[in-house]
Chain A
Amino acid sequence: MTRLKLALEEGFQDDYVVVLADGRMIAEETDVTTRYQISLARLVEIDLPPGTTEIEIRLPEKGLAGAIETDGSVPGTLRVSLGRDGRELAFVRDEPLRFA
């Protein structure tokens, strides 16, 4: 198992978020809402199955989904935000998580 720190950051509002590893659901979060004073909605630690090649984030109620390929290297951190138009997900991997 590899521990992933997943930061759901900007643009979330009462969202239901599903995390999948290689198509299999490994976590779900409800009522995810960004607190703009720290630019963070939810910080989640997830154990990824060995050999995970794709991590997918879905917001089923908004019809949104996005994924990253791990290329054999599972990220330690993954930051996820909704774009300004609210219609796409943006990912940043392996950056320090720093909020204030």
Chain B
Amino acid sequence: MTTPSDTGFAGDSGTTARTTSPETRTQPSEPYVEMRIPEPGEAEQAREAGIELPLIPIPFPVFTVSGRYVYSRAITLPTPIPLPRPLPIERIPIPRPGPGRAESDEAAETVYDEDINAISLYQREEVRFDVDGRYPQMTISGTRSGFLTVAGHWIASVRKTASGSYEGPIWYKDGATGAIAHTHVSAKVTGGLFPASRKLEITFTGGGAAAFTRSYAFESGYHRGVEFEYDRVSNAVAVTSVNTHAHPNRPASLPAENLTIETVFRRAGFDVSVSPGGGVIPIGAAGPDAAWTDQEMHDAMQIHWSRFANKPQWAMWVLFARLHVSGTSLGGIMFDDIGPNHRQGTAIFSHAFIAQPPAGDPAPAAWVERMRFWTAVHEMGHSFNLAHSWQKSLGTPWIALANEPEARSFMNYPYNVAGGQNAFFANFDYRFSNAELLFTRHAPERFVQMGNENWFSNHGFREAAQHSHPDYELRLTTSRADDRFPYLAPPVVEIALVNRSERTRTVSSARISERGDFTLVINGERREARLWMPHMRHCGEGDDKVLRPGEAVYDSAMIASGKNGWDLAEPGRYCIQAVIEVDGQPVYSNQLMVTIESPGSREEEKIAADFFTPEVGQVLAANGTRGLAKVTDVLAAAAELEGNPVSQVAALALATPLAFDFKLLDEGSASGAGAGADTRMGARDAGSGGGRRIEQYKADPKAARKLLERAMGGKAGARGAAKPGSADSLVDAVGHTRFLRDAPVIAAIEKAEVPNSTEAFLAFAADGQKAEAAAALPVSDRMQRLLDAKAAGLTQ
């Protein structure tokens, strides 16, 4: 704790570093909205704070309705709980409200309908209504909570309709599956001008769920609350406000004001208070060299921040120091990426480069003041988990984000834009970008709140995994040592859904990786998180499968490519995580870290451009074709690579379609025909006209066998000589359950017993006993046991 009596704050002319306790402040204490009717007492407080309130005349009536609205009620659970309830809906008895918040009473009285779709019996819903005022994002978001946990979070983009209401689709959902069933909202503000009587009525529709309308009471003109605590090292300068007209290089339309840090964040939608605990830290705390390391600042935060708790909270510590040990090149840093609770503290170095105005600047003192102010807000922005403007797509963004390298935002470097810092400040309105405001106002709380989600990580399932179905484990593994894959080798993820309960459970036997309720995210270190979109989805629900305790259903997924391209191809590290719904509740997987190695040879580099194409991805997913000459050529080249499992995957993809007669619709040119073109035996279909014809390629079991032997690491023509275990690496390369599904075909190729007609072949492949077929191949005993277990739990 430090004393707040020091006068070292540069904005200390009675306008900044004001200490306002949350208990005593009047809200809203700063004009979040640009033009509105001041609240009683607000003008006096604004004068004290040096804030210029918007001047009237204003075109009456001008008032805003954005802000936070709440619905809450107590629940008396009937016994047994009738879920789902039959229609018509019986209202849950709502206890007579006791003394408490007025808004709770109002909301409880105006329940139109119960949300019979929700699987969570939540007691509170908070809605952030963002349609007017300062920088409206035309967005409504809501958070539904139970007694102790957040059940779900939704975000909708809305437009104003002719009737004065707002409506639009829900485009983002987070949390327990089923908590947010609807897909569309329409909202209308009722209750007149005065906040105390204002209500927001939202109707939820769509998504196959019963529609319902809920009424929310106005709670605040801000979306969220936050507290700042400023401390200054005795040899540093703290700037917490700036005169926006002090420097001549500025937008012509920029209002003249004494802008404080708190005001900036209030305009971003936060109800800001300043902790009374801030003050001055003696220079001795910095160590003998007076420059600060990150660890020293972290220690200082624990000692001097009155609110320090090492837990998620809407509060941050801001340190104004003189220099970092890195020297003058570091203007500030959000230093708290140490330990389990990130983003609690940030620092500004008043004597770094931000105190060095360019030669010839017309107002050097104002330049320094402005850069110190910009740096302070910039570093505090990092504490809200805002990334630099040009790095929005890196890390793990909460939604797919575009970089904003030219943004006139606090989160951009002024000297990095085209035209440099002069161009930046000529258009800088002292604000965050719309994408940043959307995030800070509407993203799930854990992504933004200090001490919660790790810095630079806001799109993971990590927090949601706490709500995973306790009876199941969704396990992702690979067969590669250390989960490292050579360049070009398509990673295969082995998936197991395990019954971890102590009783027998029934699950769907539909193929896991192709189910509509299975989601897999690929999160590369240097690119945005990507949703894996499998090339194929199987229709049908699948039969039920009984799992005794400890048993599992299995699948293998070649996740390197999908409908949106090759997401797992470039060298680097990737985090893979999946979620599947069982009994209406999500089951989250482990986070699997996969490494793609750099090219190991010139040959691998040469093939890459032709290999990483959508066509090759589709063919590998379908396990072969005879219709695409370019693809078969690439696969043939890949099959020749030594020491890379891609050679096995490619060889098998080439071998399988050679095992049986293969029909292909020829659109009139034979140029696209690939391997086996010389074995075509079909005649042009006279009835089809226009040169279209169905070609039939004869099976080439000899060629198929040669390829298979290559895939198993043997030499061509060495049939029968393969050692037990020589097929293990092939099984690992293509995936255990993928191998099992193809095992009858592979075994038939190996034994030269492929039926000679397509129909007979398909019947053979379908009827084949997959585990037995696999046993006909030279796999090791260990691999055979593994395949036996997976065959028992094979999804369809």
Is B329 interfacial (CB 8 A cutoff)? yes
Is B334 interfacial (CB 8 A cutoff)? yes
Separation of A11 and B572 alpha carbons in the complex (Å): 10
Please choose the segment from A19-27, A34-42, A46-54 that sits at the chain B interface, where 4 or more of its residues have CB less than 8 A away: A34-42
Separation of A71 and B572 alpha carbons in the complex (Å): 34
A38 near B333 (CB under 8 angstroms)? yes
Separation of A35 and B353 alpha carbons in the complex (Å): 19
Interface string of A71-99 (1 = CB under 8 A from B): 00000000000101111000000001111
Closest Cβ neighbor of B383 among chain A residues: A37
- How many residues belonging to B are interface residues under a CB distance threshold of 8 Å? 33
Is B626 interfacial (CB 8 A cutoff)? no
Which of B334, B391, B573 contacts A13 (CB under 8 A)?
A: B573
Interface string of B322-362 (1 = CB under 8 A from A): 00001101111110010000000000000001100000000
Min Cβ gap A37→B in Å is: 5
B456 near A36 (CB under 8 angstroms)? yes
Which of B333, B353, B598, B599 contacts A98 (CB under 8 A)?
A: B353
Q: Which residues of A lie under 8 Å from residue B194 when comparing CB positions?
A: none
The answer to whether residues A99 and B394 also contact, given A62-B571, A63-B598 and a CB cut-off of 8 A, is no
The answer to whether residues A36 and B394 also contact, given A62-B598, A63-B599, A98-B331 and a CB cut-off of 8 A, is yes
The answer to whether residues A39 and B379 also contact, given A87-B570, A99-B331 and a CB cut-off of 8 A, is no
8 Å CB interface, B302-333 against A: 326-327, 329-333
Is B646 interfacial (CB 8 A cutoff)? no
Q: Which residues of B lie under 8 Å from residue A86 when comparing CB positions?
A: 526, 570-572
Q: Which residues of A lie under 8 Å from residue B573 when comparing CB positions?
A: 13
A37 near B527 (CB under 8 angstroms)? no
Separation of A26 and B337 alpha carbons in the complex (Å): 31
Q: Which residues of B lie under 8 Å from residue A36 when comparing CB positions?
A: 387-388, 391, 394-395, 455-456
Separation of A39 and B234 alpha carbons in the complex (Å): 28
Min Cβ gap B357→A in Å is: 13
Q: Which residues of B lie under 8 Å from residue A99 when comparing CB positions?
A: 326, 329-331, 333
Which of A7, A13, A43, A87 contacts B525 (CB under 8 A)?
A: A13
Q: Which residues of A lie under 8 Å from residue B382 when comparing CB positions?
A: 37
Separation of A43 and B375 alpha carbons in the complex (Å): 20
Closest Cβ neighbor of A84 among chain B residues: B526
Is B413 interfacial (CB 8 A cutoff)? yes
Min Cβ gap A32→B in Å is: 14
- How many residues belonging to A are interface residues under a CB distance threshold of 8 Å? 25
Q: Which residues of A lie under 8 Å from residue B379 when comparing CB positions?
A: 100
The answer to whether residues A100 and B375 also contact, given A35-B337, A36-B456, A39-B391 and a CB cut-off of 8 A, is yes
B599 near A38 (CB under 8 angstroms)? no
A37 near B456 (CB under 8 angstroms)? yes
A97 near B388 (CB under 8 angstroms)? no
Q: Which residues of B lie under 8 Å from residue A39 when comparing CB positions?
A: 388, 391
Closest Cβ neighbor of A7 among chain B residues: B329
A84 near B527 (CB under 8 angstroms)? yes
B333 near A100 (CB under 8 angstroms)? yes
Min Cβ gap B674→A in Å is: 30
Which of B327, B331, B337, B455 contacts A100 (CB under 8 A)?
A: B331
Q: Which residues of A lie under 8 Å from residue B391 when comparing CB positions?
A: 10, 36, 39
The interface centre, meaning the residue of A7, A64, A84 with most chain B CB atoms within 10 A of its CB, is A84
Is B378 interfacial (CB 8 A cutoff)? yes
Interface string of B570-599 (1 = CB under 8 A from A): 111100000000000000000000000011
Is B415 interfacial (CB 8 A cutoff)? yes
Q: Which residues of B lie under 8 Å from residue A38 when comparing CB positions?
A: 330, 333
Which of B329, B571, B598 contacts A97 (CB under 8 A)?
A: B329
Q: Which residues of A lie under 8 Å from residue B334 when comparing CB positions?
A: 37
Q: Which residues of A lie under 8 Å from residue B527 when comparing CB positions?
A: 84
B571 near A98 (CB under 8 angstroms)? no
Q: Which residues of B lie under 8 Å from residue A43 when comparing CB positions?
A: 326-327, 329
Min Cβ gap A12→B in Å is: 10
Separation of A86 and B415 alpha carbons in the complex (Å): 25
B413 near A11 (CB under 8 angstroms)? no
8 Å CB interface, B367-424 against A: 375, 378-379, 382, 387-388, 391, 394-395, 413, 415
Min Cβ gap B573→A in Å is: 7
Closest Cβ neighbor of B596 among chain A residues: A86
Known contacts A36-B388, A86-B572; 14 further A-B pairs (Cβ under 8 A): A10-B391, A37-B382, A38-B330, A38-B333, A40-B330, A82-B526, A86-B571, A87-B570, A96-B353, A97-B329, A99-B326, A99-B333, A100-B333, A100-B375
13 contacts between A and B (CB under 8 A): A5-B329, A7-B329, A10-B391, A13-B573, A36-B388, A37-B382, A39-B391, A86-B572, A87-B571, A99-B330, A99-B331, A100-B354, A100-B375
A residues contacting B by CB (< 8 A) are 5, 7, 10-11, 13, 35-40, 43, 62-64, 82, 84-87, 96-100
A-B CB proximity, top 6 nearest: A100-B331, A97-B329, A63-B598, A37-B334, A100-B332, A37-B382
